Homo-oligomer: A and B are copies of this chain.
Amino acid sequence: MSGAESPTFGVDLGGTNVRCGVVDRDGVVLREVREPTPLGGDAVVATMAGLVRRLAEDFPEAAAVGVGAAGLVDRDGAVQFAPNIQGLRRAPLRRALEAELGVPVVVDNDANAAAWGEVVHGAAKGALYALVITLGTGIGGGIVARGRVIRGAHGFAAEVGHFQIDPDGPVCACGERGHWESYASGTALGRMGREWAAAGKAPGVLARAGGQVDAVTGVFVGDSAQAGEPDGVALLAEYVDYVAIGLAGLANILDPERIVVSGGLVELGDALFAPLRTAFARRVEGPEYRPEIAIVPAQLGEQAGVIGAAARARDLEAGGSGVWVR
Contact = CB atoms under 8 A, between A and B. Distances in A.
Interface of A: 72, 80-81, 89-90, 127-129, 141, 143, 145-146, 150-160, 162-167, 174, 176, 245-246, 248-250, 252-257, 283, 285-286, 289-291, 293, 326
Contact of A157 (B248, B253, B291): B253
Given A145-B145, A154-B255, A163-B248, 13 more contacts: A127-B153, A129-B152, A129-B153, A146-B326, A150-B150, A157-B255, A159-B285, A162-B249, A162-B285, A163-B253, A164-B245, A176-B285, A250-B253
Given A167-B165, A253-B158, A174 B285 contact: yes
User: Which of A141, A283, A293 has the most chain B CB atoms closer than 10 A to its own CB?
Assistant: A283
A72 B290 contact: yes
A256 B152 contact: yes
A176 B255 contact: no
Contacts of A159: 252-253, 255, 285
B255 A291 contact: no
11 contacts: A129-B152, A141-B253, A145-B150, A146-B326, A153-B293, A156-B285, A159-B252, A163-B163, A164-B245, A174-B285, A176-B285
B129 A255 contact: no
Nearest to A286: B81
Contacts of A90: 289
A132 to B, nearest CB: 13
Given A129-B152, A289-B80, A289-B81, A143 B253 contact: yes
4 A-B pairs with the lowest CB-CB distances in the bound complex, closest first: A152-B255, A163-B249, A153-B257, A157-B255
B249 A155 contact: no
A247 to B, nearest CB: 10
Contacts of A167: 165-166, 245
